[in-house]
Chain A
Amino acid sequence: MMPGRSGSFWVFVGLLVLAYLLLHVSFGYRGPGPDFIAIAVLLAARRTTGPQAAALALGLGLLADALSLTAFGATALALVAVGWVGARTRDLFEGGSYLFTALYLFLGKWLIDALYLLVAPDARAGAVRGALWTVVPLNALYTAVAGAFALAAYRWTVGERPGR
């Protein structure tokens, strides 16, 4: 990442986290919708190293898990694993288009939720197996669209070209 843009990108990540906390903690929203923390981790993973992405994912995951009574660490684990994989995808895919970003966010969010359902004790106890093919893809779609729009807004603000 270019040094001059580094600061503004982390402000962008901070705004995404703020949006997540406002939506889900302050307003208590529980319905389907974009996961701004997943967007923050997945987009940051494309611009940082694996360990840096994992560290960010750990911090944000624990923040998201802080209000969980029986699955503390489950979101963090899912975010760390997918964040690290996301950072490694730079070696495989160079895409920076919005279509690629949306697809990347969709798959990333789907994997995060799938891992979460796998490790969260509550998820195992409940009838959530069907969620993997119903609610989870819907949330992934919301996340992909919202993430692509957020990235476009960021790029427009800082004057970054989509092709990088």
Chain B
Amino acid sequence: MLVLTLVILLLPPAYQQPLRTALRGTILRPFIAAQAQLAARQGRSVDVTAIRAQRDSLAALAAAQASLALENRQLRALLRIADRLRSQFRPATVLRLGTAGAESTFIVDVGSAEGVQVGSPVITAEGVLGVVWETAEHSAQAIDWTHPQFVVSAMTANGDAYGLVQARRGRFREEDLLVLTGAPFSSDVRPGARVVASGRGNVFPRGVMIGTVLGIEEADTGWRKSYLLRPAVRPEAVRHVLVGIAAAGDLSAIWHTAAPPDPALADTTGGGAAAAAAAPQPDGQ
């Protein structure tokens, strides 16, 4: 029995997924559905004002995104380039799980039937929340930014420094922060500076807010600097999100990001390394 369990534990995620999906779709299904019902009821009765405000923000975000997409389409039509950057989002409700191993993850009530894919970005009106890791027909499981394997390609809002943002765990989950790593040693990012998604890797749209700089975490022997960030979104407080369902575009205007165009995005080979780093890797590698 112990050997069998070890084999299951060491199986590649692709082989584990059917077993997990079967358990979720059968025994756990009524319990997950119960939480969805509870979330819906809570949304109707408890803090209607707060949730309405959150939904309004998301609606405004979606509307702004739609107008940007329209503008982009018109520009692309003028330039006769392929429709590569069309970005769309689906609103979704977040379900939290308390089982072992489900820390830093959440379920959204939209899935592959709605166009959600592995790697779809999950954002709120405040900024980056997480990325979809696994999809079912009408639901998907995602990791939030506190997950050890979460990485997003980032830049300062003025475009002075680029790097990767990862979680930095605190003693308690409420103390979890983000850290911008790989910034050039010559960079001088002041506390309070905004850090946004750079768009490299095509996971998160360029310009989505990630957090604000608290200070330098470490200066790596004259080569690199790391900056601690206060995250824009606290995962435990989120109930409604937007889930990307297509290739992401540029959302810089929504978060007032004034960075100049990224030279690495113009050169597709240059963005390759960052793209690989930022893309979710469900096999855990």
Residues of A within 8 A of B (CB): 21-30, 51, 54-55, 57-58, 61-77, 80-81, 84, 116, 119-122, 125-127, 130
Cross-chain pairs A/B with CB under 8 angstroms, 6 sampled: A24-B97, A62-B23, A64-B100, A73-B6, A122-B147, A125-B149
User: Does B60 sit within 8 A of A, measured CB to CB?
Assistant: no
Contact check, A51 vs B1: say whether CB atoms are below 8 A apart.
yes
A122-B103, A130-B171 given as contacts; is B24 within 8 A of A73 (CB)? no
Mark B residues whose CB is within 8 Å of A: 1-2, 4-6, 8-11, 13, 16, 19-20, 23-24, 27-28, 31-32, 34-35, 38, 95-105, 107, 133-134, 141, 143, 147-149, 169-171, 282, 284
A28-B96, A67-B141 known; A120+B101 contact, CB < 8 A: yes
CB-based contact A28/B101 at 8 Å? no
Q: In the assembly, what is the distance between CA of A23 and CA of B31, in Å? A: 10
The complex places the Cα of A63 from the Cα of B28 at a distance, in Å, of 8
The distance in angstroms between the C-alpha atoms of A84 and B3, with both chains bound, is 13
A-B pairs with beta carbons under 8 A, tally:
144
List 6 A-B pairs, minimum CB-CB distance, nearest first. Answer: A68-B101, A73-B9, A125-B148, A24-B98, A66-B23, A54-B1
Instruction: Check if B31 sits within 8 Å of A26, measured CB to CB.
Output: yes
Residues of B with C-beta under 8 A to A67 = 20, 24, 28, 97, 99, 101-102, 105, 107, 141
Decide if A74 touches B9 in the complex (CB within 8 Å).
yes
Question: In the complex, are the beta carbons of A81 and B169 less than 8 A apart?
Answer: no
- Nearest chain B CB to A140 CB, angstrom units: 14
Q: Which residues of A contact B23 (CB under 8 A)?
A: 62-63, 66
A68 touches B1 (CB 8 A): no
Alpha-carbon gap, A61 to B97, bound state (A): 16
Q: Majority SS of interface residues in chain B?
A: mixed
Complex Cα distance, B97 from A125, in Å, reads 20
Bound Cα distance A120, B284 (Å): 12
Bound Cα distance A77, B282 (Å): 21
Given contacts A63-B27, A122-B147, A126-B169, contact A25 B101 (CB under 8 A): no
A30 touches B100 (CB 8 A): no
Contacts of B11 in A (CB 8 A): 72-73
Give Cα A35 to B164, complex, Å.
37
Q: Are B143 and A58 in contact (CB under 8 A)?
A: no
Are A64 and B284 in touch, CB under 8 angstroms? no
Q: Complex: how many Å from CA A76 to CA B27?
A: 16
B24: A residues at CB distance < 8 A: 66-67
Alpha-carbon gap, A77 to B284, bound state (A): 19
Known: A63-B27, A75-B100. A127 touches B169 (CB 8 A): yes
CB contact under 8 A between A74 and B16, given known A54-B2, A67-B105:
no
Quick check: B5 and A28 within 8 Å, CB to CB?
Answer: no
Most central of A29, A55, A69 by chain B CB within 10 Å: A69
Q: Would you call B171 and A127 a contact (CB within 8 A)?
A: yes
Interface pair B169/A62, CB less than 8 Å apart: no
Question: Smallest distance from the beta carbon of A25 to chain B beta carbons, Å?
Answer: 4
A25:B97 contact, CB within 8 angstroms: yes
The answer on a CB contact under 8 Å between B9 and A25 is: no
Instruction: Assess A80 versus B2: contact at CB under 8 Å? Given A26-B31, A66-B23, A69-B143.
Output: yes
Do B35 and A25 touch across chains, with their CB atoms under 8 A apart?
A: yes
Is A122's CB under 8 angstroms from B98's CB? no
Distance in angstroms between the alpha carbons of A101 and B148 in the assembled complex: 37
